[in-house]
Amino acid sequence: MSEKFQPTEQLVEQVWETPSRPEIVELTKTHVQAMEMTDDDLVWIQAGMHHVLLTTVGRKSGKEHKVALPTWRDRNGVRVVVASFAGAEKNPSWFVNLRDRKANPSLLCQVQDGKFWSEAEILEGEERDLVWRQLCADRAWYENYQERTNRKIPLVRLPETERLEH
């Protein structure tokens, strides 16, 4: 029997309609540009969720790619991001680049108050399932995204390995 979790102070009720995947791509480009220009709460906290700007390296191109993602903190206070792409059948490219990052194991992350390197952890097995249930207590729409796809939506923990000067 699966354990039911109570929402935390990170609870966000979905009061918006999920954008289409092409809209998500365009919104993300604009969001990334804004995040690089300011530390303003209006940019970094969207729909009640803090965001992180991830820089991944293309596994084929070798080029840097940036993506803005909402974060949620696990019970230890470590940021977690969700590779949902609104329930798409395929994993988002940022996740595939991260998963296949053998040549570049560290991930550059920017948050509202600075940057850090992370040895990102892709959660698996029972740990992933436990964190998923905790996350969905606060962000129920992820359950809807999971229902849209046959893949198991990945969760990525982003521990701060090395903080960079702000």
Q: What is the CATH number of domain 21-163?
A: 2.30.110.10
DSSP helix/strand/coil, 39: coil
pLDDT of the residue at 105: 66
Residues in CB range of 42: below 8 A, 6 or more apart: none
Residues in CB range of 156: below 8 A, 6 or more apart: 80, 81, 82, 83, 95, 98, 120, 121, 122, 123
> What are the DSSP calls for 69-101, one per residue?
EE-EE-TTS-EEEE--GGG-SS--HHHHHHHT-
Q: Domain residues of the chain, as ranges?
A: 21-163
User: pLDDT tens-digit profile of 13-58?
Assistant: 766 677 777 787 788 899 999 999 999 999 999 888 999 999 988 8
pLDDT of the residue at 131: 96
pTM of this structure: 0.87
pLDDT of the residue at 100: 83
User: pLDDT tens-digit profile of 124-135?
Assistant: 999 999 999 999
